[in-house]
Structure 1
Amino acid sequence: MTHKDDSAEALVEMLERKAPETLDLLTAESEQDFEKAFEALLNKAVTHLEANSKNFRSLDETGITAVVAGVLSMPGLTITQETNSNGHVDLKIDMDHCSPPRIKLGEAKIYNGYEYHVGGLGQLLGRYSTGREGRGLLLVYVKKKDIAALMDRLRKDMDTRLPLQQQGETVDHGLKWSFVSAHKHSSGENLEVGHIAFNLYFEQPSV
């Protein structure tokens, strides 16, 4: 075994111990495998924000997204905010050293009903996405009470009204209260979008 082989094996062993998500992302052979690996990483960001909702309740969409970007950042994954992609997209995720190249774009919205949500979805699909990217992200920061009912209503409204050339009904996402929609893009491709719900409701204790 050469020194180069030794170094590669040592790197893999280190990733297995310290950053298994990175290894899973790097070795994903299909889009489905990549999404499964990314879901585990995304769950860390959701869990972190929800556990600290008291500290983030005063932040706006940009501030909360900065926290998400910080949690997602890891070796091999480049996370940038307000990157130019036919406009300044809230979140751009590049998987480094990956073939084929894997890019995800994300838009973030503090939950404020169906119309506001679809407005953000329209920005993501109509302005920022070129059709080359993988599944998009619409991060939904819910600061209101009863996230389960709010997200269920949002999903039902989308399935009834089929906005932005939505292709059929939404399907479940692996993360709680979240779902996936598919839309006909101007490129001719069907683009998936994961609508990822963050429960940031914080109830002030009564005095």
Structure 2
Amino acid sequence: MSSATSNAFELVKLIQRKAPEYLDLLTASTEVEFLVAFDSLLARAVNHLEKNARNLSGLGEEGLTAVLVGVLSMPGLSVTQETNSNGHVDVTVEADHCNPPRIVLGEAKIYSGPAYHIKGMTQLIGRYTTGREGRGLLIVYVQNENISGLTKSLRTRLDTILPLQQSGPTCDCSLKWSFTSRHKHSCGDEVEAVHVMCNLYIG
């Protein structure tokens, strides 16, 4: 084995040991593999916000999203704020190494009831999403207590009124206090959105 090959092999082993999600992201060959790897990174970013809720308590939606974007960004994964896609999207994630490109659009809201949440869904699904992107992302900063109860109540409301041509009931997601919904999009396909609830209650 040549020195260069050996060094490359050692680097891969190091990444696998230190940052397995990053390696999974780099080597993802399907949309499903990419989303599984991305969900791990997203969970870590949300956990960072939750552990620092007291330090972040003075921030609004844009400030909280700036922190989230900073934590998610890494070589090979471009994460930006206010990038244009038929409007200024709160969070745009682009996997630079993928072909075809993998793009995740996200809308971020401080939780203020189901109506405000649906407003965010309308922006994400009805305005920003073209149908070419992967699963959409709704980041919900919950500053109230009882995030579990609020999540259940929100899901019940969505499953009752089925906004934005929602296709059936919401489904559980691998991330705690989070769920997915599917919607008929103007492109003619169904699009999926994951609603990620972030616990920022500080008492």
Query: Which amino acid counterpart does residue 33 of structure 2 have in structure 1?
Result: D
Distance change in 2, residues 1:8/1:146 (3 Å): same
Distance 1:78 1:2 in 2: 33
SS at structure 1 position matched to 2:39: helix
Deviation at residue 14 of structure 1 after TM alignment:
3.6
Deviation at residue 4 of structure 1 after TM alignment:
6.2
Distance 1:112 1:13 in 2: 45
Deviation at residue 17 of structure 1 after TM alignment:
3.1
Paired position in structure 1 for 2:155 = 155
Q: TM-score, normalised by structure 2?
A: 0.95
Paired position in structure 2 for 1:59 = 59
Deviation at residue 30 of structure 1 after TM alignment:
2.2
Paired position in structure 1 for 2:32 = 32
8 A contact 1:170–1:180 mirrored in 2: yes
Over residues 81-140 of structure 1, what are the superposed CA-to-partner deviations in whole Å (9 max), with x where a residue is unaligned? 000111100000011111221100000000001110000000001111110111110000
SS at structure 1 position matched to 2:168: coil
Equivalence map 1:94-105=2 (5 Å): 94-105=94-105
Distance 1:22 1:44 in 2: 12
SS at structure 2 position matched to 1:97: coil
SS at structure 1 position matched to 2:25: helix
Say how many residue pairs are matched.
203
Distance 1:53 1:198 in 2: 10
Equivalence map 1:1-207=2 (5 Å): 5-6=5-6, 8-203=8-203
Taking only the aligned residue pairs, the percentage that are identical comes to 58
Deviation at residue 18 of structure 1 after TM alignment:
3.2
Distance 2:126 2:5 in 1: 45
SS at structure 2 position matched to 1:156: helix
Query: Which amino acid counterpart does residue 200 of structure 1 have in structure 2?
Result: L
8 A contact 1:136–1:193 mirrored in 2: yes
Over residues 25-67 of structure 1, what are the superposed CA-to-partner deviations in whole Å (9 max), with x where a residue is unaligned? 1212322222111111111111111111111111100000011
SS at structure 1 position matched to 2:79: strand
Deviation at residue 5 of structure 1 after TM alignment:
4.4
Q: What is the RMSD of the two structures over their aligned residues, measured on CA atoms?
A: 1.5
Distance change in 2, residues 1:86/1:11 (3 Å): farther
8 A contact 1:142–1:197 mirrored in 2: yes
8 A contact 1:22–1:75 mirrored in 2: no
Distance change in 2, residues 1:8/1:86 (3 Å): farther
Distance 1:30 1:115 in 2: 35
SS at structure 2 position matched to 1:56: coil
Deviation at residue 146 of structure 1 after TM alignment:
0.8
Query: Which amino acid counterpart does residue 161 of structure 2 have in structure 1?
Result: R
Deviation at residue 9 of structure 1 after TM alignment:
3.0
8 A contact 1:179–1:195 mirrored in 2: yes
